[in-house]
Structure 1
Amino acid sequence: MAPQYLNSPRTHRGVRSRLTLLIAVLLVIAGCGGEDFPTGTGRVTKVIDGDTIRVRLGSKTETIRLIGVNTPETKAPNKPVECRDRYGRLLAYVYRVSDGLFINLSLIAEGFGRAMPFDDTPTFHAQFAEAELTARTARLGLWGACPQ
């Protein structure tokens, strides 16, 4: 059973308010080789959950799954990395344009999600793992609500 903290409207508001501050994001698609996947600047139109957002990229809207971070949700996303997941969501590292904030890392560092390694994209493994350990030690976000 999930801790009460996960079902709290305050938790959802906190994650939602942090992510809705993303007026525009820079998308960097990891591990997509030569395939034609969108990169560039877009506008966040909806926050679906802690690691999934909808972004308007030009004339198309994409559902994007943030790479390397796993936040509480109803479906288990522990699948191998691809350019898109089994739900059709684009897998991406997301940065806030206004200040360069690395959203994937920020969610982990603030205790809103776990580091989730992707074998094909080891670029941020160490950074994400260190951020999770620091958040756990400081009992930030989810780590403050769960007994150790």
Structure 2
Amino acid sequence: MLRWRPRNGNAHRAHLTRPYSLFFFLAALATGCGGNDTLRNPPLATSANEGVVVSVADGDTFDLEIAGKRDTVRLIRVDTPETKHPTKGIQCWGPEASDFTKSLLAVGTRVRLVRDAESRDRYGRLLAYVYLADTNVFVNRELVRLGFARPYPFEPNTTHKTTFADAAWEAQGARRGLWGAC
């Protein structure tokens, strides 16, 4: 039978490291270091982060009323093809992306906003990850997963970077939406 022996000859220390390794692994698991849980348990709604959709401008921008005020929201980390851009015109799959967002975020829909490192972009739009208040559907992720948007780097807003990369990989592999049409 082969027995493991440390190279430095300190065999008596080998039996001490295993319990400590197990302890640190279990401690990391218990404290949540195993991954981001906001997909399954998004932050709870409060009056400061929940609003009602007023209108949808395009596939990744909409207006809502939040805390009695109207604001424009730009979905973080996603980019849908253009439908109203002054120089780019209407891009492939842009109208479909806009229509999908309009159906998902119909006027009157209650949404919950979760912010990241930066709260506004250079145009003054509120940057947010958006969840449907009633069902917890993660709107930003659904746009990418179903092929209506590409992941878009909004540094330093990187909380769900891996989530969107995985969703894009899934959409590309299945040739969904813009990945099959454009």
TM-score, normalised to structure 1, is 0.66
Separation in 2, partners of 1:39, 1:68: 22
Q: Match for 2:62 among 18, 33, 53? A: 53
Separation in 2, partners of 1:57, 1:144: 37
2:175 pairs with 1:139 = yes
Q: Which has the larger radius of gyration?
A: 2
Preserved CA contact (<8 Å) 2:56 2:62: yes
Unaligned stretches of 5+ in structure 2?
Answer: 1-41, 89-116
Preserved CA contact (<8 Å) 2:74 2:128: yes
SS at match of 2:131: strand
SS at match of 2:128: strand
SS at match of 2:119: coil
**AA paired with 1:41?**
E
Q: Tell me the equivalent position of 1:86.
A: 122
Preserved CA contact (<8 Å) 2:147 2:179: yes
> 1:27: how far off?
9.1
Preserved CA contact (<8 Å) 2:79 2:149: yes
Q: Tell me the equivalent position of 1:124.
A: 160
**AA paired with 1:144?**
G
Separation in 2, partners of 1:114, 1:27: 24
> 1:117: how far off?
2.2
> 1:70: how far off?
0.6
Q: Tell me the equivalent position of 1:41.
A: 50
SS at match of 2:63: strand
Indicate the RMSD between aligned Cα atoms, in angstroms: 2.4
Separation in 2, partners of 1:119, 1:131: 19
Separation in 2, partners of 1:56, 1:84: 16
**Aligned ranges 1:19-34 → 2 under 5 Å:** none
> 1:122: how far off?
1.9
Preserved CA contact (<8 Å) 1:71 1:112: yes
> 1:39: how far off?
3.4
After the TM superposition, list the runs of 4 or more consecutive aligned residues in structure 1 that deviate by more than 4 angstroms: none
> 1:83: how far off?
2.0
SS at match of 2:169: helix
Residue deviations 1:35-85, cap 9 Å, x none? xxx832110010111110101112100000000101112278xxxx84212
Q: Tell me the equivalent position of 2:132.
A: 96
SS at match of 1:122: coil
SS at match of 1:123: coil
Structure 1 residues 39, 108: CA separation in 2 closer, same or farther (over 3 Å shift)? Answer: farther
Residue deviations 1:66-106, cap 9 Å, x none? 00101112278xxxx84212221111110001110000101
Between the two proteins, the alignment pairs up a number of residues equal to 108
